Amino acid sequence: MQVSIKSYAKVNIFLKIAGKRENYHEIVSRFVRVKNLYDTISFTPDNETNEFNLIGDFGCKTEDNSIYKAFLELRKYCPKIDAFFRIYNIKVEKNIPEFAGLGGGSSNAAAFLVLANKYFNLYYKKDKLAKIGARIGADVPFFIYEYDSANVTGIGEIVEEFKEEPLNIEVFTPKEIKCHTGKIFTNFRNEFYKEISAKQAKELLDLKSTDILNKLSIEEANDLYLPALKEYPNLKEYAKQGWFFSGSGSSFFKVL
Ligand SMILES: C[C@](O)(CO)[C@H](O)COP(=O)(O)OP(=O)(O)OC[C@H]1O[C@@H](n2ccc(N)nc2=O)[C@H](O)[C@@H]1O
Ligand SMILES: Nc1ncnc2c1ncn2[C@@H]1O[C@H](COP(=O)(O)OP(=O)(O)OP(=O)(O)O)[C@@H](O)[C@H]1O
């Protein structure tokens, strides 16, 4: 019986905005899993609290944790998990930095749903799990599908595998800069707003990740980079030649 799962980080090879949807923005992006940066989530049988018990080094309260939110959503479909998680802990070995544009919270929620689906023999299809996951965070559906590389559109709910050779990605996260996604989208909307055309979007979505990075500058690859720089000017110090910016930051990455 599988009792633990790796919860990988992601980077956005490119991230362009295609439009507005209420308070959110529609994205056109290539997501790639980072194979050497992951948290490990386990179900361990020594919960003595008789209530939901999440163990790990998190910067937020359990009620705000994406894993707890995923548990609450799944419990609506499968009430028996309530009793199970009064006896079992959820233990997380946390390595992915938070506020880093690496999707750590979303990845953890997805990994929990994928592991629970197997552990409790639910046999939910990926599409169903992705719909449940989308209620927790924009990036959760990508992680549910477990693709190494995918084109992601909508507000993250449309995920299409992109077949390409596996990429070896190095990530650098400036520890003292914590990027707040909402604030950066607000800057984008107020001062940097632009939309990618359908034609440009298709061109990027068809290109291999390495070709995209050879073709675009850091500013061209990620529409949130300039709004993030405006909010956190110190980011500039880390923007070395050949490095790109992931999500709403603060992480930089390059393909080795
Ligand atoms: C930009 C990405 O990092 C790309 O991977 C993600 O789509 C961000 O996803 P996330 O961190 O899960 O974002 P959420 O926690 O859902 O949203 C935080 C805030 O960012 C803004 N937001 C987020 C995602 C999106 N597509 N449009 C937005 O405008 C919204 O104001 C939202 O209130
Ligand atoms: N399981 C979790 N792991 C990490 N952070 C979590 C988790 N659950 C909730 N959070 C909270 O979510 C917020 C953002 O964390 P997260 O690591 O997902 O975002 P991020 O680095 O901005 O990723 P991205 O912008 O790519 O979605 C923080 O307030 C963090 O405390």
* Residue 23: CATH number of its domain: 3.30.230.10
Those residues with Cβ within 8 angstroms of residue 88's Cβ, 6 or more apart along the chain or in another chain? 43, 44, 45, 47
User: Is pLDDT of 1 > 80?
Assistant: no
Average pLDDT, the chain: 96
Q: What does the alpha-carbon distance between residue 192 and residue 86 come to, in Å, rounded to a whole number?
A: 48
The predicted pLDDT at position 108 comes to: 98
The pair of three-digit structure tokens given for residue 229, joined into one six-digit string: 């720089």
Q: What does the alpha-carbon distance between residue 255 and residue 169 come to, in Å, rounded to a whole number?
A: 5
Q: What does the alpha-carbon distance between residue 162 and residue 181 come to, in Å, rounded to a whole number?
A: 25
Check 16, 69, 139, 223 and give the catalytic one: 139
Those residues with Cβ within 8 angstroms of residue 90's Cβ, 6 or more apart along the chain or in another chain? 41, 42, 43, 52, 53, 54, 55, 67, 71, 112
CA of 138 to the centre of ligand 1 (A): 6
Q: Please, where are the H alpha helices in 56-177? A: 66-77, 81-87, 104-119, 126-134, 140-145
Region 94-111 average pLDDT: 97
Residues of the domain holding 151: 3-255
The predicted pLDDT at position 122 comes to: 97
User: Is pLDDT of 251 > 90?
Assistant: yes
Q: What does the alpha-carbon distance between residue 30 and residue 153 come to, in Å, rounded to a whole number?
A: 9
Nearest Cα residue to atom 4 of ligand 2: 105
139 an active-site residue?
yes
The predicted pLDDT at position 243 comes to: 97
Ligand 2 residue neighbourhood (C-beta within 6 Å): 58-60, 64-67, 98-106, 108, 139, 181, 247-248
Give the chain's domain count: 1
Here the ipTM equals: 0.93
The predicted pLDDT at position 115 comes to: 98
User: Is pLDDT of 2 > 80?
Assistant: no
10 an active-site residue?
yes
The predicted pLDDT at position 51 comes to: 97
pLDDT in tens, 225-236: 999 999 999 999
Half-sphere exposure of 221 (CA within 13 A, CB side): 28
